[in-house]
């Protein structure tokens, strides 16, 4: 019987696997970015200062973002991408960052072992 393999909720195992997954270079659109994401990996697009990510029960990127923004005394404003025109199937979440927000958030990601692809 075919399947996706063993499912794990071990955070360190998930982060290790994020480093092994192939990285997309020069994506053409947001759907390609979404398809390259996995637990423990985020994608930052310089030209529009947007960070794309997916959450999982084992590792919530949005919780890290909220904690960093709380430390900056700011409110995080997340956006949601969808895979279909009817907005039924969620894809990646995103947030636009200014330079100080990006620096603080990337430091938190580095401390958490999260891989940042640009």
Does 35 fall in a domain?
yes
Does 3 fall in a domain?
no
Does 59 fall in a domain?
yes
Closest C-alpha to 106, from 74, 73, 61: 61
How many structural domains does the chain have? 1
Burial of 98 from C-beta contacts in 10 A (0-12 / 13-18 / 19+):
exposed
Does 101 fall in a domain?
yes
Paired with 45 in beta bridges are 50
pLDDT of residue 7: 56
Spatial separation of the C-alpha atoms in residues 110 and 93, rounded to whole Å: 19
Does 2 fall in a domain?
no
Does 1 fall in a domain?
no
What does the pLDDT look like over 10-58, one tens digit per residue?
A: 666 665 665 555 556 666 667 667 767 777 889 999 999 999 999 888 8
pLDDT of residue 1: 41
pLDDT bucket at 97, cuts 50 / 70 / 90: very high
Does 5 fall in a domain?
no
pLDDT of residue 70: 97
User: In which domain, by residue range, is 32 found?
Assistant: 11-16+25-117
């Amino acid at each position: 019987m075919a399947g996706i393999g063993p499912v794990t909720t071990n955070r360190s195992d998930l982060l290790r696997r994020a480093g092994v997954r192939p990285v997309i270079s020069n994506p053409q659109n947001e759907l390609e970015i979404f398809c390259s994401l996995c637990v423990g990996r985020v994608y930052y697009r310089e030209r529009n200062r947007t960070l794309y990510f997916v959450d999982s029960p084992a590792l919530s990127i949005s919780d890290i973002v909220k904690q960093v923004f709380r430390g900056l005394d700011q409110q995080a404003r997340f956006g949601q991408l969808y895979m279909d025109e009817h907005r039924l199937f969620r894809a990646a979440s995103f947030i636009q960052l200014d330079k100080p927000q990006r620096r603080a958030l990337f430091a938190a990601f580095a401390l958490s072992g999260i891989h940042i692809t640009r």
